[in-house]
Copies of this chain bind each other. A is one copy, B any other.
């Protein structure tokens, strides 16, 4: 299952609104098929792995990170039906598909065909890998990761604005990896004006990843929508050549098509707006072992009335170290 979850990560950021699923088929202790949801959402992971396994799927064990879908789509048959036809002896799944068109019916169809089904294996890691799809299903909006890179005392720049660099090259490379896992990257107008960040994925082998670029700006949105009257407006701005979708408020991420994972890269104004709107599900806190003292704070007003409201919201779920910089990952407790 861990291998299936790792495979599912390959599709992440490119399968929305479909879940990024991973599948591994094992027979007599040997892997006979591996698959992950392909860019655009089809073919599904199970279809790829079954195709690879061919006749070997008979009597094998199929590991899938999500319950196989039970609904026949315009672009292909239901994965539950594909599995029934291939006749593995057993299907092991991490989580049940919350999509009402499947929601247990995938498992039921397998069991009805005499295939043994085991559910609930490695639930939390699978949930994390498919966070976008699951958040869309449960909260009706994309999953939002907020990235902050700060000193030990929570600063992101000197009073002069000097901010290159807080963290080292290893931490910054990891931040690019996080870009590759997102359908869209968002920055604020302040960061756009100060840094004109390219917002691309500059990592060997991942250069083809092109998450959509989002800009949060009330003023640009007003200007852009005067030209094209639409809720979310495309705008061409300097820096990297590509266009931006301009949002006039954080909750406009909800309406974005094919966007289940959003990475918010800052700056402080945008981070505060997303936190104040309680739209952050995951916090990536890269920390450099330095003290800055007087300087620019990582976040500003997030609408806290009293200290007790701050408690109980965040749970530390992972820590890693890049060079000398620790990364802490917190998840919003809901």
B302 touches A289 (CB 8 A): no
Which segment, of A87-95, A115-123, A134-142, A162-170, faces chain B?
A162-170
Q: Is the interface of A mostly helix, strand, loop or mixed?
A: loop
A173 at the interface (CB under 8 A from B): no
In A288-334, which residues have CB < 8 Å from any B CB?
288-295, 297-304, 306-307, 310-311, 313-316, 324, 326, 328, 330
Q: Which of A125-133, A150-158, A218-226 forms part of the interface with chain B? A: A150-158
**Interface contact B164-A307, CB-CB below 8 Å:** yes
Which residues in B have their C-beta under 8 angstroms from that of A303? 293
Which chain B residues border A304 with CB–CB below 8 Å?
A: 158, 292-295
Residues of B within 8 A of A162 (CB): 306-307
Judged by a CB distance under 8 angstroms, whether A285 is at the interface is yes
Residues 256-280 (chain A) with a chain B CB within 8 angstroms = 272, 275-276
Contact of B164 with A314 in the complex, beta carbons under 8 Å = no
Bound CA–CA A289/B155 (angstroms): 17
Q: What distance in Å separates the Cβ of A154 from its nearest Cβ neighbour in chain B?
A: 2
Q: Determine which of B290, B298, B326 lies in contact with A310 in the assembled complex, contact meaning CB atoms within 8 Å.
A: B290
Docked Cα-Cα span, A151 to B151, in Å, equals: 13
Q: Which of chain B's residues have a CB closer than 8 A to the CB of A152?
A: 154, 283, 285, 314, 328, 330
Residues of B within 8 A of A155 (CB): 154, 297
| Residues in B neighbouring A330, C-beta threshold 8 A | 152, 289
Q: How far is the CA of A313 from the CA of B324 in the complex (A)?
A: 12
Contact assessment for B298 and A153 in the assembled complex, using a CB-CB cutoff below 8 Å:
yes
Q: A66 → chain B, closest Cβ, in Å? A: 30
Q: A301 and B290: CB pair below 8 A?
A: no
The residues of B that contact A315 with a CB separation of less than 8 Å are 289
Collect the chain B residues with CB atoms within 8 Å of residue A301's CB.
293-294
A311 touches B290 (CB 8 A): yes
Q: Are A299 and B289 touching (Cβ within 8 A)? A: no
User: A154 — nearest CB in chain B belongs to which residue?
Assistant: B154
A314 touches B300 (CB 8 A): no
A165 touching B307, Cβ below 8 Å? yes
Q: Are A299 and B293 in contact (CB under 8 A)?
A: yes
Residue pair A166, B297 in contact (C-beta under 8 Å): no
Could you tell me if B313 and A290 are in contact, using CB atoms closer than 8 angstroms? yes
- State whether A297 touches B299 (Cβ < 8 A): no
State which of B272, B295, B306, B316 has its C-beta within 8 Å of the C-beta of A326: B316
List 23 A–B pairs whose Cβ atoms lie within 8 Å, in order of A's numbering. Answer: A148-B153, A150-B154, A152-B328, A153-B297, A154-B297, A158-B306, A162-B306, A162-B307, A163-B307, A165-B307, A166-B307, A275-B291, A276-B293, A288-B311, A289-B314, A289-B330, A291-B302, A291-B313, A291-B314, A292-B307, A293-B299, A293-B300, A294-B301
